[in-house]
Structure 1
Amino acid sequence: MPPNGHVGDDAFVRFAGIQKTYDGEALIVKDLNLDIARGEFFTMLGPSGSGKTTTLMMLAGFEVPTEGSIFLAGRSIGTMPPHKRDIGMVFQNYALFPHMTVEENLAFPLKVRKLPKPEMEARIKRALEMVRLSAQGKRRPAQLSGGQQQRVALARALVFEPKLVLMDEPLGALDKQLREEMQFEIKHIHENLGVTVVYVTHDQGEALTMSDRIAVFNDGVIQQIAKPAELYERPENVFVAKFIGENNQLSGKIIALNEPACTVEMPGAGIIQALAVNVGMVEQPTVLSLRPERVKLNPLPGSLPNIFSAKVMEVIYLGDHIRARMSVCGRDDFVVKLSNSEGIAHVEPGVEMTLGWKMEDCRALRPS
């Protein structure tokens, strides 16, 4: 079973032996053991149906685990109703009350908690300042843009000063530029308040930008938990390598194992030196993972352990870099990313060249 992450005995959120099924047969979440630290921005990342949203909903109290226990600040919350958990929630569809003004939306969770009016007014004022909407307090949601509505939803989740905020695809309905702006805004608010955030998304760029740690879910199981840079640079299995960022995957057979290196034979395409990350024995199959930006053009002979002839099949201009599809190692879908500062005018369809990469940039993994 992959490691599910541990932050010590003082974990703020703890999932212990959690299983979830709706029909008594298919497990949506399988044997989840996970600790989240106080003040952490923790992201659950994965494709649709991977179990990440179900996990979040169990923490919120909207779903009940089939097996296992969930702890918040050391206290079991399995039988506690959602409104007693004192958790802030932000959803993709904002879930604002359309008939209320912005201020009235923010006042709602404070009235439920029976705060005195002066305290309510002070908190609403602070929350609106925090999301830069001080001038919009008297407006109704329909009079605001999508980005402003999401800011109100964020302010409402924070106005009663919860210790934990859950966010379920909160930026999914926004356009690309606004989504990127809100990523930084949410991250800055998190840093300033020190609140614990558990965030669900299927967008890997969003997860890499915002998170302290990321758990990659697939088929109800956490595949890897790591900091963003480690997840991208050092994926532990084929699924994570493929799901996080663009990736060349080459299938071969291990013919020599001399850790940390291994030698891999590519059928009809030669020999590759790779980093043995998660492999079987000699003669067993492996999948090599290589990031497109790690590939070098026309390296000097002998300067790299892996050098191959290649032919440019397609070039796509993307502003600050180009994405070139090459024919190499028996594959016509090998991708290379090249910065515009690298002198790429000669990279055109039909041109033949050599490509090379370091052993440690090519990660050998089990096929599944």
Structure 2
Amino acid sequence: MVTTAEPDAPQETSSCFAIFNDVQKSYDGETLVVKGFNLEVQRGEFVTLLGPSGSGKTTCLMMMAGFETPTHGDILLDGTPINDLPPHKRGIGMVFQNYALFPHMSVAENLAFPLEVRGMSKEEISTKVANALDMVRLGEFGDRRPGQLSGGQQQRVALARALVFEPELVLMDEPLGALDKNLREEMQFEIKRIHQRLGVTMLYVTHDQTEALTMSDRIAVFNDGIVQQLATPEALYEAPENAFVAYFIGENNRLNGQVSQLDTQGEHCTVTLDSGEQVRALKVAVNEVGERTQLSLRPERVRLLSAEEPGAAGTQSPPDNVFSAEVLEVIYLGDHLRTRVAVCGSDEFIIKTPNAEGYPPLRPGQTLQVGWDACDCRALDA
């Protein structure tokens, strides 16, 4: 379980821009909704707090914004403790899911408001508003009211308003939750583009794993007020440290069993499944023979041995684990096929194969050989 920044990537202290130091939060004085939260966000970094509803991620964001106060611990911004600093003095940009735009003001007036509060001149305000609208590609929409815009356009305005006064830190709380799938995907790339262009530090909250994987430099996965793992998107997907992270990030096949052998030298183990088969796996969260474990295996890492990739014959070594499987269901998804098979005592075992030449069509009732390598199968906590 990881609750601190990764030790294998040290950076200068000056680059740690936003810091949570052993932060806890309780609303009733008894139940902790955030438990010992530690996080160092580097200057210019895009960090996402990811987790299910009620996991504590939004509470952490609200404490950074100043709308909630930590029960214990310290929050620092650019080296300065801000626990007792009111929200309007923190200089933080904020984007909410419901946009929070003033409906009686034009788009330009919405953007001008935070600048007027800061006492800027009309000329400076006009320039900054125009630049912000151009940045989100809404330069011709300044005179419109929010009610005259689509949901995606309103979210662009909300993003522009959070950036118009050039804050060093922008907080985003489920900003794309109200958008449909296509708009949500478009805005993911838009936000990432703006982040890369401006180099502003961003702290983002979502329960959507795709958003987190698409935009983030690092992701903190929350559950029950605790950070389960803090890592890059690639590391979270390829090397989850426990069962919760494995099954929250992407799709996984789960196989339950008991450790029957541990390599004395090396990284692998043998697991005897509840169905009786023996599987070679990577030992991640198991320490002794007899321990219960849950194996985690990504659907795209399973090979159909009777339908190897074109040109792969003779070039791939046999997988460490080979079993006979019965095809139960085949779903066509355009770029790939999602096949459900019965194997190793599970009727919910999924295999994803590309929709490419060389892969013969599969049909329910068909029996075939499937296999996977030990390094792709992770022995996690039960």
TM-score range, shorter chain: over 0.9
Aligned mate of 2:50, from 41, 45, 63:
45
TM-score (norm 2): 0.94
In the other structure, the counterpart of 2:17 is 12
Q: Secondary structure at the match of 1:135?
A: coil
Q: Which amino acid aligns with 2:365?
A: G
Alpha-carbon distance in 2 for matches of 1:287, 1:102: 52
Structure 2: distance between partners of 1:345 and 1:144: 48
Tell me which amino acid in the other structure corresponds to 2:91.
D
1:324 to 328, 334, 339: 339
Contact 1:321–1:337, Cα closer than 8 Å, also in 2: yes
Partner of 1:288: 295
Paired position in structure 1 for 2:37:
32
CA-based RMSD:
1.3
Give the equivalent residue in structure 1 for 2:309. none
Do the aligned residues in 2 keep the contact of 1:270 with 1:329 (CA within 8 Å)?
Answer: yes
Aligned residue number for residue 164 of structure 2: 159
Total equivalences in the alignment: 367
Distance across 2 between alignment mates of 1:192 and 1:58: 27
Amino acid at match of 1:262: C
Q: Which residue of 2 aligns with 1:263?
A: 270
Offset at residue 345 of structure 1 (A): 4.0
Give, as a single letter, the amino acid of the residue that structure 1 aligns with 2:122: K
- Percent identity, aligned pairs only, is 62
User: Which amino acid letter does the alignment assign opposite residue 173 of structure 2?
Assistant: D
Structure 1 residue 343, shift from structure 2 partner = 3.8
Q: Which runs of 5+ in 2 are unaligned?
A: 307-312
Give the corresponding residue for 1:276.
283
Please tell me whether the aligned partners of residues 280 and 366 of structure 1 are also in contact (alpha carbons under 8 angstroms).
no
Distance 1:116 1:254 in 2: 70
Contact between 1:293 and 1:337, CA under 8 Å: does it hold in 2?
yes
Is the Cα–Cα contact under 8 Å of residues 47 and 216 in structure 2 kept in the other structure?
A: yes
Q: Does 1:298 align with 2:313?
A: no
Partner residue, 1:219: 224
Q: Residue type matched to 1:290 in 2?
A: L
Give the TM-score of the pair, scaled to structure 1. Answer: 0.97
Kept in 1, the 8 Å contact 2:302–2:370? The answer is yes
Looking at structure 1, the residues matched to 317 and 105 of structure 2 have their Cα atoms a distance apart, in angstroms, of 70
Partner in structure 2 of residue 311 of structure 1: 326
Q: Is the 8 A contact 2:3 2:226 kept in 1?
A: no
Shift of 1:347: 1.0
Match of 2:184 among 179, 198, 203: 179
CA distance in 1, matches of 2:293, 2:127: 60
> Partners in 1 of 2:332 and 2:287 — Cα distance?
39
* 3-state SS of 1:350 partner: coil
Corresponding residue SS for 1:134: coil
SS in 2 for 1:309: strand
Q: Once superposed, which parts of structure 1, at least 4 consecutive aligned residues long, lie more than 2 Å away?
A: 1-4, 6-10, 299-302, 342-346
